[in-house]
């Protein structure tokens, strides 16, 4: 599995996305109610509120091209995400929780919890 980002689309300034699941923004409806932040679980809708771009990063610690790309993406994210109103959500293809935790520790963004394997499969099928 190669590292990949789902293409982000810029939304027009006055675009009002349709609401799904408890008035959540459209991007939040793709994920469970809680996703993993750097300090534990966070409310998905709140974490993505107001973001102009939400990028889904499919990757795994055992994938050499991914391991090479992740530091570059992390650098760009740290430099530009706030200014450009971007959020990245890591969706892991790691084989175990330990691999996921170690690899996610190198990332400055949000993640789909490793335990959400059914949601990971759904996202992979939708965007893979």
pLDDT digits (tens, 9 = 90+) for 90-101: 999 999 999 999
Q: Which residue has the tokens 């050499």?
A: 64
pLDDT of residue 46: 94
C-alpha–C-alpha distance, residues 95 and 73, integer Å: 22
| Among 30, 91, 98, residue whose Cα is nearest residue 60 | 91
Lay out the sheet containing 34-37: strands in order across.
4-5, 53-59, 86-92, 110-111, 34-37, 40-43
Q: Locate 101 and state its tokens.
A: 């935790």
For the entire predicted model, the pTM comes to: 0.80
């Amino acid at each position: 599995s190669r590292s990949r980002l789902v293409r982000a689309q810029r939304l027009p300034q006055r675009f009002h996305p349709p609401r799904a699941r408890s008035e959540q923004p459209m991007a939040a409806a793709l994920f469970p109610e809680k996703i993993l932040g750097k300090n534990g679980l966070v409310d998905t809708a709140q974490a993505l509120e107001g973001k102009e771009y939400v990028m889904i990063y499919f990757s795994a610690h055992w994938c050499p091209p991914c391991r090479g790309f992740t530091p570059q993406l992390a650098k760009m994210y740290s430099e530009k995400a706030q200014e450009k109103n971007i959020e990245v959500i890591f969706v892991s293809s790691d084989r175990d929780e330990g691999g996921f935790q170690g690899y996610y520790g190198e990332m400055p963004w949000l993640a789909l919890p490793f335990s959400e394997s059914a949601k990971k499969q759904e996202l992979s099928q939708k965007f893979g």
